[in-house]
Amino acid sequence: MLTIHSDDHRLHHAAFEWAGGERVPAFETPQRADQVLAGITTHAIGQVIAARRFGRAPIERVHDAAYVEFLSTAWARWQAAGRTADMLPYVWPGPRMQQRRPADLDGELGYFSCDVYAPITAGTWTAACAAADVALSGQARIDAGERAVFSLCRPPGHHAGIDYMAGYCYFNNAAIAAQAFLDGGRRRVAILDIDYHHGNGTQDIFYTRDDVLFVSLHADPREAYPRFTGFAEERGSGAGAGYTVNYPLPSGSTASAWFCALGAACEPIVRYRPEVLIVSLGVDTYEDDPISSFKLRTEDYREIGTRLARLGLPTQFVMEGGYAIEAIGRNVCGVLAGFDACRSEGVKA
Ligand code: SP5
Ligand code: ZN
């Protein structure tokens, strides 16, 4: 399988995050993507090519232009104020408060975010644009007839909503690719999100629409980040009613429970008859992931690839989470190799 990559991801490097009331080293590091890239070579997944640039326009097809503009200038404004540490929000509009854009940087930081997990650093804008380019370059290859590609996006994207950053995410790479498919003439795109965490941002972007089916398998929000979305009763609204499908699973779920939910999640996808499938590929479902609780083992990732290949659809894998540095390369490559092996056998659903 072809992999798309950009070295610019390394420009985004958070110093720390908050966990249990303490500052701890950031879990979302440049090393993650480096390890996945090394795995692509070790496991002989295939050719790796550099992303090309697409600019702001395809990003603004799913994100609010004011949010994009804010991200593009935030670090320079922060520096001009004499600050050097990572930018983090401290205050958000709570229930029944005014949803009004503040006039200064500290206020805007809260206005354009919903948690403390998306610090802006010196290289965040460049890296986030590069991740969108990695997604768009993969989209273009599928559009040109490739059966499957892997967009090695970093920073990840599925927690970023229309006008907010969150959960290590700034631009929603999978959503940007989905919109590009539609803008290129495809009529129905399915996104299957198998990251441990609910893809609240992707859900936000497509919640009222029927041209993108969003199906997510994730830890029950009652017990896991992002806490306030991902419940089974969230099913889309207006024209989008029925086109968001959530499968929350209990904390500690094992592979057998997880694969059972995957089987269920494939049903609405098959019924929808999408022209293309985007997989938000997180491997933080792994048993030794440091921030998650599912119990998938390395051998399970190959089986995921096999199951997804059986859907018989043009498929774009987009990298999301996964924080067990030692295992991230082999787990991601397991999915890709399982997909490729099944596809070369010509197995169809
Ligand atoms: C893309 C993605 O996977 N984003 C995940 C964002 C998770 N945000 C914070 C979760 C809090 C975990 N606390 C760590 C405790 C470790 N012992
Ligand atoms: Zn995750």
Per-residue tens of pLDDT for the chain, all 349 residues = 999 999 999 999 999 999 999 999 999 999 999 999 999 999 999 999 999 999 999 999 999 999 999 999 999 999 999 999 999 999 999 999 999 999 999 999 999 999 999 999 999 999 999 999 999 999 999 999 999 999 999 999 999 999 999 999 999 999 999 999 999 999 999 999 999 999 999 999 999 999 999 999 999 999 999 999 999 999 999 999 999 999 999 999 999 999 999 999 999 999 999 999 999 999 999 999 999 999 999 999 999 999 999 999 999 999 999 999 999 999 999 999 999 999 777 544 4
How far apart CA 103 and CA 122 sit, in angstroms, is 22
- Under 8 Å between Cβ of 38 and 184: no
Any ligand 1 atom below 6 A from CB of 117: yes
Using CA atoms of 315, 198, 284, 328 in order, give the dihedral in degrees to the nearest 10: 40
CA of 198 to the centre of ligand 1 (A): 11
Helix or strand or coil: residue 164?
strand
- Provide the pLDDT for residue 245: 99
Q: In 205-303, at which residue ranges do the beta strands (DSSP E only) sit?
A: 212-219, 244-249, 276-281
- Provide the pLDDT for residue 345: 72
How far apart CA 272 and CA 267 sit, in angstroms, is 9
List the one residue out of 146, 151, 148 whose CA is nearest residue 131: 151
Q: Which ligand is nearest to the CA of 319?
A: 1
Any ligand 1 atom below 6 A from CB of 17: no
Any ligand 1 atom below 6 A from CB of 195: yes
Any ligand 1 atom below 6 A from CB of 156: yes
Token representation of residue 27: 């879990």
Please report where in the chains the tokens 């930081």 appear, as a residue. 109
Query: Residue 159 catalytic?
Result: yes
- Provide the pLDDT for residue 342: 92
| pTM of the model as a whole | 0.98
CA of 167 to the centre of ligand 1 (A): 7
CA of 292 to the centre of ligand 2 (A): 8
Nearest residue (by CA) to ligand 1, atom 6, is 167
- Provide the pLDDT for residue 348: 47
- Provide the pLDDT for residue 344: 74
CA of 225 to the centre of ligand 1 (A): 7
Nearest residue (by CA) to ligand 1, atom 7, is 167
Q: In 176-319, at which residue ranges do the beta strands (DSSP E only) sit?
A: 189-193, 212-219, 244-249, 276-281, 315-319
Pairing, β 189-193 against β 212-219: parallel
- Provide the pLDDT for residue 282: 98
Q: Exposed (0-12), middle (13-18) or buried (19+): which is 44, by Cβ within 10 Å?
A: exposed
